[in-house]
């Protein structure tokens, strides 16, 4: 891979230890994937923020990097293992909270914006069409590539941090025009009426389209941002590359012809995805909304459905979101309505990265990605449905 004089100086250590280590990582990555050069990036999203995933070894690694590592492009974080303010309400153990705070302190010392979210585009962190970025969380990367038309590979924790210290990323994969061409046409022959329908659609496509870039046809009206973020999370979780196109909707779709290979998703295929995602038991002891992190519209809908009601005994309910969205919800009186019912608005975190193992038996959610993590990481039974159905489950303690 070609390195400029400036890149060479970073590699020799003239800009400090963290920048040198970072350049070594980027050069190794670039060589591995056949990149021709490093390209400048506009922003970075760092994943691997939860102490639950990092452990003490990860915390030590970050503390060491923070000695002289300073980011040189705007950088923010993926969700952490707890609400950084209201962690006690989420029943997070105190020793975990202390370690999680040390993780965030190390990131802050590096100059990183410590807003922890997977929906940065809902709080004003939105790249422009065609811009190169280095983001890490899979739903955010997929939304960024597909809906915004900016360009990012799905970075790992170390490669994202390295990009933040150097301000560049290797030019390969989804940064290149030729790697963004769809290779599977998906005919959507079913009405999509709820967030969970979009999640199930992503699951149905992802399971049949391993490592492909789908081009969806047959979607006539523009889906809401909430539907697109849910779909972005689901389709990549279940198998595609972090990029899709929707004919007439997403910004690059018009550049391409329909691929020859086709997949049709109709009522039967959507129903099969629901059956795959839904366990048969009826008990619900956890309801998790806001995967990806909730918008203010989703929180308004939840507050309307919960107003004046109480969760069933033994049920916990979290609505996960970015802190600025929680602050807006607080100002609108929505957090109080939700908390009066016994549910919680959990900023900074989500059910996939909080230390929940063994705490709940069975989750209800709008998110197909949420099902994947609650089941795979935390051993919960899973139920997926609309916001209304999930709230009903929280009030009744059962799915049916």
Applying CB under 6 A, the residues found at the interface with ligand F3S are 78-79, 118, 137, 139, 233, 291-293, 320, 350, 352, 369-370, 373
Q: Cβ closer to ligand F3S: 78 or 362?
A: 78
Minimum CB separation from ligand F3S for residue 206, in Å?
Answer: 14
Minimum CB distance to ligand F3S, residue 97 (Å): 19
Which of residues 18 and 49 has its CB atom nearest to ligand F3S in the complex? 49
Q: What is the distance between the alpha carbons of residues 341 and 275, in angstroms, rounded to a whole number? A: 30
Q: Of all residues in the chain, what percent are helix, strand and coil, respectively (each to 5)?
A: 45, 15, 40
- Indicate the DSSP class of residue 333: T
At residue 151, φ and ψ (nearest 5 deg) are -130, 120
CA 397 vs CA 317, 336, 388, 400: distances in Å: 11, 22, 14, 9
User: Between 113 and 396, whose beta carbon lies closer to ligand F3S?
Assistant: 113
Q: How far is the CB of 320 from ligand F3S (least distance, A)?
A: 5
- Which residues, listed in sequence order, are joined to residue 383 by a DSSP beta bridge? 364
Q: How far is the CB of 28 from ligand F3S (least distance, A)?
A: 27
For the CB of residue 293, give the shortest distance to ligand F3S in the complex, in Å: 5
CA distance 206 to 348: 27
Least distance (Å) between residue 147 CB and ligand F3S: 14
The answer to whether residues 344 and 266 touch, using CB atoms and an 8 Å cutoff, is no
In angstroms, what CA-CA distances link 246 with 82, 198, 264, 386? 35, 13, 14, 23
27 versus 112: smaller Cβ distance to ligand F3S: 112
- Residue among 74 and 292 whose Cβ is closer to ligand F3S: 292
Considering the complex, state which of residue 190 and residue 344 has its C-beta at the smaller distance from ligand F3S.
344
Q: How far is the CB of 374 from ligand F3S (least distance, A)?
A: 9
Q: Rounded to an integer, what distance in angstroms lies between the CA atom of residue 343 and that of residue 29?
A: 44
Give the residue carrying structure tokens 């997403």.
250
CA distance 199 to 205: 10
Structure tokens at 239: 């198998």
Contact indicator for 157, 47 with CB cutoff of 8 Å = yes
Phi, psi of 170 (to 5 degrees): -65, 140
Complex with ligand F3S: residue 151 or 293, whichever CB lies closer: 293
């Amino acid at each position: 891979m070609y390195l400029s004089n400036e890149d060479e100086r970073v590699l020799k250590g003239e800009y400090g230890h963290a920048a040198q280590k970072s350049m070594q990582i980027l050069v190794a990555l670039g060589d591995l994937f056949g990149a021709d050069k490093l390209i400048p990036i506009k922003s970075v999203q760092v994943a691997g923020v939860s102490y639950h995933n990092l452990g003490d070894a990860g915390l030590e690694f970050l503390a060491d990097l923070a000695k002289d590592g300073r980011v040189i492009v705007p950088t923010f974080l993926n969700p952490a293992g707890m609400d950084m303010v209201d962690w006690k309400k989420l029943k997070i153990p105190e020793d975990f909270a202390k370690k999680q705070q040390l993780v965030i302190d190390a990131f802050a010392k590096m100059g990183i914006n410590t807003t922890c979210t997977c929906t940065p585009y809902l709080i004003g962190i939105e790249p422009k069409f065609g811009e190169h970025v280095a983001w890490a969380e899979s739903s955010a990367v997929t939304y960024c590539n597909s809906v915004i038309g900016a360009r990012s590979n799905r970075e790992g924790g170390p490669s994202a941090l390295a990009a933040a210290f150097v301000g560049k990323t290797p030019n390969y994969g989804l940064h290149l025009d030729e790697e963004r061409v769809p290779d599977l046409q998906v005919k959507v022959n079913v009405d999509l009426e709820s967030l969970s329908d979009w999640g199930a659609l992503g699951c149905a496509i992802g399971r049949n389209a391993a490592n492909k870039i789908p081009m969806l046809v047959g979607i006539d009206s523009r889906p809401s941002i909430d539907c697109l973020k849910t779909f972005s999370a689901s389709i990549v979780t279940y198998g595609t590359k972090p990029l899709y196109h929707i004919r007439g909707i997403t910004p690059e779709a018009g550049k391409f012809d329909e691929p020859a290979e086709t997949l049709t998703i109709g009522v039967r295929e959507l129903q099969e995805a629901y059956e795959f995602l839904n366990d048969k038991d009826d008990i619900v002891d956890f309801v998790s909304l806001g995967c990806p992190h909730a918008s203010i519209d989703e929180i308004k809908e939840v507050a309307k459905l919960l107003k004046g009601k109480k969760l069933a005994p033994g049920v916990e309910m979290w609505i996960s979101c970015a802190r600025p969205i929680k602050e807006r919800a607080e100002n609108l009186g929505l957090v109080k309505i939700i908390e009066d019912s016994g549910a919680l608005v959990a900023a900074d975190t989500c059910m996939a990265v909080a230390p929940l193992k063994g705490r709940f038996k069975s989750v209800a959610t709008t998110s197909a990605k949420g099902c994947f993590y609650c089941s795979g990481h935390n051993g919960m039974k899973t139920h997926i449905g609309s916001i209304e159905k999930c709230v009903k489950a929280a009030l009744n303690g059962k799915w049916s």
